[in-house]
Structure 1
């Protein structure tokens, strides 16, 4: 497990200062960032996603309606100061996109490094910035991000089996350990197997984060069963995307055939078959005799030998036809 851990993009340091964007910093340090990536990968082993928070924020609408206060229309503050509930909803509605497609290292509204002349992100992009062949950037869609309270050992095991990894938000008292901001991925006979967040200093006082494997016992020092408050991100089976004319390339990559977005997705064109160019050593099977300028004109492609070769082919064709017809007659 430890070896496989190092291949998960979402558990590695981000490589830049996340403290400059309040929402990005909060989403990473609380563990939701890692939870979304792990849940997506565990559902589909071919997926290796480090979620793009920038895409989730910029995908939000400019306004929303608060139904419980007389349908008041309120503005969405898209950027580093957006409400946490908005981010949760965006990942559920618009899906989880890999930060390799839409980088998290961007300047959004509310970023502390905004300076004069530096552009900030606007609406969510419709095309992926990553252009490597075969790059998978179809969103993980229809996930459900939810919180469950007061989980016993058995109910926690049941929940992991049904939904995948669980993010610990609170441990019951009198637990005195320091394993918060950890994700439960399984269990042994006596312990939970977790991936625990570790703070690392990279440059100056700016912190980054990575995950290491650890365990948490089922019971505390008083032999009382630990109970959790946990977050989970349930990811349903993913269906292959089927684009229509206005489907963005992020929602669904170009299809190899029958893609209606002809302006962006050119169908592969079959290259015309090139005529063979024989050399003196080329056999007739590799390239038949040319009518003129054949380098084998003095050998294989002498006029009489060409006629002879054609006669042999015709004779073989007759033999094959006779054999097939004879075999067919046997079964009538």
Structure 2
């Protein structure tokens, strides 16, 4: 009890007892400047703050940003075995997956307006086929919000399926990376996705199609040690952390202070590991110019947006060698 509860005028009582219906996510704190930014302003600027911080965005927003007219055909990704190692730490692995899927489903419900194309996401990857400045393109987006974008069997299968779709549609293959590394709950099975995704990239290259990587914050661990650093062109968002091990681990190992901006986009561009550092709001134009140079003209003219089911269905069957069997 206090003096306000003991003595209230009728007007004050009504004021204190009433509750305003104010959304709790109306403002977002900029990690760079510390200022509060109105969420609707962030949505208009593709979640780039006035200070230049590039906040993480969902696969749906990434597709809207890059695809022409915000149109795409989602790729239904293949299912994988759940919890093959029966892993359990403070909670069972299936419980973690269930919570992550519920979180993603809730976000998708918030972000998808009526009549917009769906996003097929069951793990940390989402893929779709569409056009970027008129060029047929398959875009695969890694979602950090799903268990830190960790690389597991589902992510590996999604990568391979998206690469096969790019080959089948004679399209460019663009991957937007965001990951903390391999998924520990799947052990060696998660590490095996590194060579598997590398072989999928080889198939794209053998078909004469470009493979472009857009590095976002953060890209680290097994992802940076495999498909994130195998692109024909590497584009990075400003100030993105791109590394295998974190700076604190390196400093403790070598017992030396690291340079300013170490493992950030701008530092890696100076060292030749990144080709372009590009503001997210200009990403589509930059990507479109690159595709205009790298993607064969015949491919862009012959491919139309259509339903995406099994990517292997459009791949022609291998022709038998007529000389086979002749002695």
Output the TM-score relative to the length of structure 1.
0.23
More helix by share: 2
Output the TM-score relative to the length of structure 2.
0.23
Structure whose alpha-carbon radius of gyration is higher: 1
